[in-house]
Structures are given as C-alpha cells and as structure tokens.
Chains A and B, each alone.
Chain A
C-alpha cells in the first residue's frame, strides 16, 4: 500500500517537473530569439550620483567642515590581466602604502570583479601627472575625481564636529541603500553622526547606455543630486580657541552654555586629535598611537568623562533644602571640623581643622563648609536628594545633540541596589551631600545643571546645532529647542540666596577669590575638588604640596555671568588639579574673557555691556 503511494507520489513529482521543463523549453527554445533581442536591448542603466555633503559652520560662519575636490586611483579587477604584477608596477609610479594595499584587498573581497575599487585616495598633482604619462601601461586602472571631506580647524573641533569615514560592512545593514548609492563615506562621530540625515542629501542619477561589458557609451538623462543641508553650530570659534588655550595641554574638559536657550558656546576636551586622519581610514600605526596614548585623546571628556562633582553640588543641594522647606537662608549650623551621625562614631570632616564656626547657607556656599551640607543631606534623606538633583539632569544624559553621551551616576537607593545588591546606609547620604561617594557627572551635565539654575530653573537641553540652511545658502531654518519643562524653582528669594552664596565665592573669602578681578560683570561660581582615591594613610595631611595634591585631585569650577541676568555658564574640569578654585577657576575666567570680547565685537542681539557698567578699574576697586 505505502509502496504504491510513494510511487504514485514520485510519478506526480516527475510529472510536475516535466511541466516545469516544458516552461523552460518554451522560454529558452521557442522564445529564445525574442528574449535574446530584449537582453541585447537591455542597455540602459542608472548610474548613481552621490550628493555633496552639507557644510558645517560655527555661529559666525567660519567653516568647520567642507568638501574639496580630490582624485583617487581606481582599479577594475576584471580588466586587469595580472593583478599582482600590475600592483607592483603601479607602486613604482604612484607610491602605495601597506594600508592602501590592505584596504584594497579587503574591498576586493567584498565587491564584484567588474566593480571599480579604490586603490589610493587623495593623489597629489605629481602622482596624477606621473600616472597620466604611464596610463597606457595599466588598462583597467583609472584616476577618478571625487569630493573629500576636510576639517580646516583640525583638532580644535574633533570632539564636536567629529568626522566621517568610509562606509563599512556593518553600516550596509543600517543605511538605506537607495539613499547611499554611490556614497563612500558616512558620519561616524560627533555632529557628523548626529546630523547625518540632514547633512547627507539625496542622490541623483544619470540614465546611461552601456555596452555588453557595462561600459558607459553615452548619457541619456541627467538627474542631479541634491546636496545635504548646511549646518550652523552655536559654537563660537574664538571662545573655543580660548578655552583650549586655557588648558595649556592639561587633560580636562570645559563646556560653555548660554543658559537662556541651551546653546553650547564652546565645548573642549583636552587632549584632542586631528579628525582629518580618520577620513580615509587611519593608518594602523597612527590609530594604535591614539588608542594607547595614556591621556586618551579619542575620548570626548565633555560628554564621556565621568567624574565626582565634589563641592560643586553644594549650591544645588542648598537650593533643594530651601525648596523643600527644610532650611531658611539665614538658618545656621556650627562647624567644628567634625560631623557625626547621631549614635555613630565615624567622623565626617570639614576641610579646615577645627571648623569655621557658625555659618548660614550663603556662608556655607562661600566657604564650602562640609558640615552644613552633611547635615542638610541627612535631613533631606537620600530619596529626596536624588529626586531633586535628578530634576537638574544628573544621572542621565543631557540629550546634547552628540552621539555617545554618558549619563553618569546619581546616587540613589535604586542605583545601589542594581549595582551592588545592597541596601543604602545613612553615611552614604552624608558624603553624597558634598558630591562624593557614588556620584559621577560629566562636564556637560554640570554645565547643564548650572545653566538650569542660572536660567532661574527653566532647563533647556544643550544644543550644538542652531540652524540648517539649503545647499548654496538661503532657506535658513532654525532648529527649535523648547524648554524641557516649567521652572524648577518656586520662589525667587530661594534663587537669590543661592546666587548670593555663589557670588560670595568670587567676591568674599571663598575659593574663587580674585577670579572676578577686572571683569565688568558680576560672576557667581563654585569650585569643586574631588579626591580620586580615598585617604588610607596620614600622607594626605603631611604632604600637602601642590604636585602631590594634583596627582590625587580633580579640580572643578563652574560659574555664570552676568550674575543678575546670566548669559553664559561654564563648567571646567582639570583631571589633575590641586584645587578647583585655583586651578580650574582661571580656565573659566579665560573663557569668560573671550566671551566678553565677542560681546563687544558682535553684539548678537543681546544688549552689549552699556557704558553704565563699571569700567575694569572701578570694578577692581570694588572687590575686596
């Protein structure tokens, strides 16, 4: 029975396949002539025309990224008789590096043998001339014009603008093939990556007639590509340059933000690198040097460097105490040099031995009195502390328009449970009150948080890109950046108290003493000094020299100006600085100076400093 069924099934299958064969006979024998004709007529193809990439400018129209014409050497493997010999002979005419050859071999495997594969990018004039003379010796090798990305400012904007580089195998799965036909490069980091969609443009195509080898005979129709949109950043190159200069090569980062709208005016991460190296695939040796360099030039410290904020959190914590009704500005605390949690014996220290005596909130900010904030944090409790600080953007990315931003750490019960599977201890609340313990913030987070404070509690996500523009200019479109929510500060008197404390840091007996000298606007600021290691011996107290401390400390300074109507906020971090005020403070001041020069040079809508403002000399006289 089964045998018969199986045979019947087999017969049916053979019958079905005979039907299939009949169809192929019909196509391949009966209609062969017609389809041969049609296959010969199949000579019209589309040839993709890649779009020009949008240009990137700073706020004053200085070019940060543009495209320049260049020439590359391309090889069609199929048209070359002996590839090895040809490459060897070519090397004598146009020098080919090992990296060129490696890249070529990689591409050779990924492409069809009748596709044209780039062998050497960016030929110089000498090389083009020499190849032109020898071209007859190399059938299948051609010099092809193309456009190459260029970053005229070099390492000044490597961490902001980023760079493009060659599309790799992984990108192919994510990019729309129709949009990237003929395109060789894609935004890899920074603005180039974040605004890829705007910068890229729309490809066009030529309708061309080809011969049987696929060679173009003539162009039938031309549909030009639409270049990508140009991008204007809010960054000001002069402020950016001043910020880099202020670091003098010391590793660190600084971010300047206009608190009124979230526009980033400067963002530096020191050290930097030359993004032009990456465009056509960096050489292996140069890349190894960059990745293994001890001070990590490839890391954008402004958004990826996570550091303990130290005392810089104190003004915000103080604001929390006022907003929650736990403190009034005039409430005082006695600083004796040591603080104890009731019933516990561990001492939490003040920075000054013996303490600073009785202080109110403003004085506590001015002199960075730990005891005041130990006590405040304990009264607030960790849950309210992390809720309030979280509302200023800590513990999550600020949403700046760059790729790869880290969120840092906002200490909370939940965070500790997730990472250590342990309950929260009151001692951890105490040290969280002075920005130590589990805290981790990026320079842009700190800048963003104080921009929110400076703007009286109304937060804007930091933004680098300000507007786009149609290719060739015109059609400028501002990128909107609405506030993130209603104000976080309910009473202006609360803001005033914090501002007063932060101004006293500069003009009183605080850590920023002298930073306001000669500056026409009032500055409000706060320093922070975080220890990189915990103190395990007495060495800290016996070796208080600057070099020793710099190796142990990270120095922060954050400030805004003019204090009454803040227009710029700067947070600066030095990875190795002895004290926040004396080491990071001057960096902030230099950035303010550059900003001030810009206000005089180009008023930019905002009212320039009026003549009623005190001249530098009188300002100095007013300062203590």
Chain B
C-alpha cells in the first residue's frame, strides 16, 4: 500500500481508517440504494419525518457495524464460525422457550432493544456451510451434502416453526447458495431439486393454515377481496396503475388514500412502482444486479475457499430478498414477511444486511492487501 506523504496528513489517516478495507464500488451501490429507500419511505409515509429519521438511524447503525466487521480478518471470522453458528442456533431455541412478540415468538428482549435471533442466522448460516466445506474435498459428495443439509435444516426448521416462513427461506437459501458455489455437481442438484418438487404435497401438509391461505389467495386473490386477497389486489392495482413512467414522486394515490396496507414496510415497493413506473423498477433492479455482481466479483477474486463461498452466498441471498419481495408485490409469490432490502422500513433486516456487507468488505480487503 503506497502511503501518501503529501501535506494532507489527515487524508492519510482517513485512508488508513477506511481506504484499503472498503470497496468503494459496493459501498457506493449500497448508499445509492439506501438513498432511494429513504426517498420512497418519505413518500410512502406521507412526509412523516420520524419514520425517515428512524430508518436513517438504522442505516447509520448498520454502516457502523459494516465498518466494524470490515476490521476483522476473514481468517478470524473463519475461526469463530462454529461458535457463532452454535450460539445463534442456541438463541433460536431460547426464543422458542421464552421469546416474546406480536403473534409469532420471534423476538428476544435484550432490555435496551429487541431483536430476532433468526436475523443472525442469515449470516452465520452461510458462514457455517462455508466453514464446513472449506476443509473438504470439492466438489462435495453425498456425505458432505448430507452434513450440510443437516446444518441448514436444523435452524431453518426452528425458524419456520416460529412461524416465519420468509426468514426461513432466506436462511436456507443462504446455506444452499454456499453449497451451490462449492461446485456441487449439476446432476446432484437436479436430483435433489426433483425430490424437493415431489415433496411439495408433503410440505403443504406441514404448513400452518394461515400459510396455506396465503398460497390459496395468491392463486385466486379475487375470491377473498376483503381478507388476504386485499393486500395482493391493492398491491397489483398500485403497480399496474403506475404504468411505464409512474405517477410521479409523492403522487401515488394507492398509499395516500390508505388503500395499500403495509405501505411503508413489506409493500413499500408497490408505492415505488406506482410512483416511478416500469422505468423506476428496472433502474432499481439494475442497481441490485450491480450489487450482487460486485459481490460475486469479490468472491471470484478471493484466495481461499471459505471467503469465496461466503462472499458468493451472501451476494446471492441478496437476490432472494429482491425476488421474493418483488414477486410478492407483483402478485407472483405468496405474502411472506420478506422486506425489499434497504427500501422497506423497520425491522432489523437493514442492520443485518449492512453487517453482512461488512464481511464482503473484509474479504475484499484481504486480497487487496496482499495483491
């Protein structure tokens, strides 16, 4: 690393603090996205500044954690992985025993704040799969695949039991992506995929009734226009009436007139689509593609298997958020509690997402420093 010995010594300090550790392309993408998120929230909340300030505070906390994580070397993270995984899984059990929350037992009260242990699994899950696979011979055989399957199934099952199908999907997805990236043979993927498809009727059997209702409603929302169908119908009206160019910032009528429920949280993307139209949707999806692409690029540059699998899996699980939420808003997927990353208001997801990008930063730094 070439040190600048010029007159601006503060600049050197600034660089030492941030420079080599942070990937400015990735950070820039995230900041633009956060900006879009705050603007949409301002409009969706009808100019309610306390919402915007609350969200900005979450972003600051998330960026602080991102920076903190970027200070820890990937080797260090790798050594801690089994403990982090075991610890977060243990917290899941604790939450089942003595958790509290509205309707679903997901929250753990820490006195100063409440948080969902399942958020932790979004990171510790891909870490654990990457940790397990990094010392194995790749591509993995059936035995390793089975072990990884178990590592994924236990926490995901606990989360699905809470019941929080959205988070369970995200956690399982993150682990599965690490397995996918390890080079698991296509025929094996095909075989498992086929088996999973065959098991769908079985899964239906284990679903909660409200989850089944959501699937039924998705298939035919008009059948239940006052209950579950209401979200989907109103969301589709918001998206569809937006057209190609949208109704303009702060001119979406659906959320203004209170027709769109959850218009600052899970359905905020409907407000965005209504106000910015198809062009806006494509623009923000391109931004997501850029961020995911950058993550995969960092993964490809990384030197060791653990870093590669982890960076790739985190990037790819970002896609799951976008796809599930975007699909839900457009009436393509059932209503599950998955936020649009960095755009939806509230929850701990903004914080945990940014924390995850801290891992990408440190992986980026590790090859930057040596390279």
Contact = CB atoms under 8 A, between A and B. Distances in A.
Interface in A1-42: 1-3, 5-7, 9-10, 13-14, 16-17, 20-21, 23-25, 27-29, 31-32, 34-36, 38-39, 42
Nearest to B45: A112
A28 B253 contact: no
B316 A39 contact: no
A499 to B, nearest CB: 51
B50 interface: yes
B257 A6 contact: no
Contacts of A21: 281-282, 285
Contacts of B257: 42, 45, 210, 214
Contacts of B327: 20, 23
B278 A17 contact: no
A45 B254 CA distance: 12
A112 B253 contact: no
B243 A28 contact: yes
Contact of A5 (B49, B181, B238, B273): B181
A9 B180 contact: yes
Interface in A437-487: none
Interface residues of B, number: 54
Chain B contact residues: helix, strand, loop or mixed: helix
A39 B243 contact: no
Interface stretch (B31-39, B80-88, B318-326): B318-326
B259 A42 contact: yes
A32 B243 contact: yes
A114 B300 contact: no
B177 interface: yes
A24 B48 contact: no
A16 B321 CA distance: 12
Contact of A17 (B243, B273, B319): B319
A39 B288 CA distance: 29
Interface stretch (B120-128, B289-297, B344-352): B289-297
Contacts of B322: 17, 20
A623 interface: no
B254 A42 contact: yes
A17 B289 CA distance: 8
Contact of A112 (B46, B238, B244, B323): B46
A170 interface: no
Most A Cβ at <10 Å: residue of B234, B244, B253:
B253
A113 interface: yes
Contacts of B277: 28
B281 A24 contact: yes
B180 A20 contact: no
A214 to B, nearest CB: 5
Contact of A13 (B241, B244, B316): B316
B237 interface: yes
Contact of A39 (B50, B241, B285, B331): B241
A6 B300 contact: yes
Given A17-B289, A112-B47, A2 B181 contact: yes
Contacts of A45: 257-259
Contacts of A77: 47
A473 to B, nearest CB: 36
A115 interface: yes
Most B Cβ at <10 Å: residue of A28, A112, A114:
A28
Nearest to B254: A39
A36 to B, nearest CB: 5
Interface string A367-408: 000000000000000000000000000000000000000000
Given A2-B299, A27-B240, A78-B47, 18 more contacts: A1-B139, A1-B183, A2-B183, A5-B312, A13-B289, A13-B292, A17-B288, A21-B281, A25-B278, A27-B236, A36-B243, A39-B254, A45-B259, A111-B46, A111-B48, A112-B47, A113-B47, A214-B256
9 contacts: A5-B182, A17-B323, A24-B281, A24-B326, A32-B244, A38-B240, A42-B234, A42-B259, A45-B258
State the 4 A-B residue pairs at the shortest beta-carbon distance, nearest first: A112-B46, A35-B240, A39-B241, A113-B47
